[in-house]
Chains A and B, each alone.
Chain A
Amino acid sequence: DAKTTQPNSMESNEEEPVHLPCNHSTISGTDYIHWYRQLPSQGPEYVIHGLTSNVNNRMASLAIAEDRKSSTLILHRATLRDAAVYYCILSYSGNTPLVFGKGTRLSVIA
């Protein structure tokens, strides 16, 4: 499975933007970049995904480097509810298991 590298932890002030980086230098042309997050005591939840172009949804934005070897999840205004572990995952098909790393633990300070 292709691997991703994320910082262990990051901290943000409430209502400020947060940029969560992910490196995936061995990504293949058919790998989609997925982001999931896991709030305390809950199962992971989908955040966003993309292939080549930047993506926006109501939760976040995904910026993908031109060479696709890195990506950044952008939370435009962090809230206390965004404190979670964020996982960057590569997957070539929708019917394959997700391979989770340790993710980035985001702390949000009021």
Chain B
Amino acid sequence: EAGVAQSPRYKIIEKRQSVAFWCNPISGHATLYWYQQILGQGPKLLIQFQNNGVVDDSQLPKDRFSAERLKGVDSTLKIQPAKLEDSAVYLCASSLASWGSTDTQYFGPGTRLTVL
């Protein structure tokens, strides 16, 4: 079974530039998450999708971050404009999403963003 795919793996941009990250979840997984992981900390949720609808985006800085999941499969996370504090690893995860069960979340390798 193929895992969660993310691209690019690394990205370096200057502040105020735009950047986009792509995620392809495991086939059949209805729930998709984007997490941000700052160096030395655990991942923190940015947004959760159930199919192509947003379940939770309360921690997404909406003035600069946006995300979409068209057709309930692939997802794109965008930052525009980037700030220095956005330097982090952006992780995508997916799960089958069975309410009341203990679904495992499967994580991609992440995209390491450096903002100069």
Q: Do A and B bind each other?
A: yes
B73 to chain A, nearest CB (A): 18
CB-based contact A100/B105 at 8 Å: no
Residues of B within 8 A of A100 (CB): 41-44
Q: Mark A30-73, 1 if CB is under 8 A from B, else 0.
A: 00101010000111111001000000000000000000000000
Contact of A95 with B43 at beta-carbon distance under 8 Å, contacts A43-B107, A49-B102 already known: no
Contact assessment for B106 and A93 in the assembled complex, using a CB-CB cutoff below 8 Å = no
Contact residue range for chain B? 20 to 34
Please give the residue numbers on chain B whose beta carbons come within 8 Å of chain A beta carbons, in ascending order: 4, 31, 33, 35, 40-45, 48, 50, 56, 91, 93, 95-110
Which A residues form the contact surface with B (CB < 8 A)?
A: 32, 34, 36, 41-46, 49, 85, 87, 91, 93-95, 97-103
Q: Which residues of B contact A91 (CB under 8 A)?
A: 102
Chain A residues closer than 8 Å to B109, beta-carbon distance: 41-43
- Contact partners of B43 in chain A: CB under 8 A: 44, 98, 100
Give complex CA distance A102, B101 in Å: 25
Q: Is the CB of A102 within 8 A of B102?
A: no
Q: Are B42 and A97 in contact (CB under 8 A)?
A: no
Q: Collect the chain B residues with CB atoms within 8 Å of residue A99's CB.
A: 45
